[in-house]
A and B are shown apart, each in its own frame.
Chain A
Amino acid sequence: TQLLEQSPQFLSIQEGENLTVYCNSSSVFSSLQWYRQEPGEGPVLLVTVVTGGEVKKLKRLTFQFGDARKDSSLHITAAQPGDTGLYLCAGVMNTGFQKLVFGTGTRLLVSP
Chain B
Amino acid sequence: KAGVTQTPRYLIKTRGQQVTLSCSPISGHRSVSWYQQTPGQGLQFLFEYFSETQRNKGNFPGRFSGRQFSNSRSEMNVSTLELGDSALYLCASSSQGVDTEAFFGQGTRLTVV
Q: Which residue numbers of A lie inside 8 Å of B, CB to CB?
A: 2, 30-31, 33, 40-45, 48, 88, 90, 92, 97-105
Contact = CB atoms under 8 A, between A and B. Distances in A.
Interface residues of B, number: 22
Q: Return the 3 tightest CB-CB contacts between A and B, nearest first.
A: A42-B104, A102-B43, A100-B98
A102 B55 contact: no
**Chain B binding surface, main DSSP class:** strand
B56 A99 contact: yes
A71 to B, nearest CB: 17
**Chain A binding surface, main DSSP class:** strand
B42 A44 contact: no
14 contacts: A2-B42, A42-B92, A44-B104, A45-B101, A92-B99, A97-B55, A98-B98, A99-B58, A100-B45, A102-B42, A102-B43, A102-B44, A104-B42, A105-B42
Contacts of B66: none
Contacts of B92: 42
Contacts of A31: 99
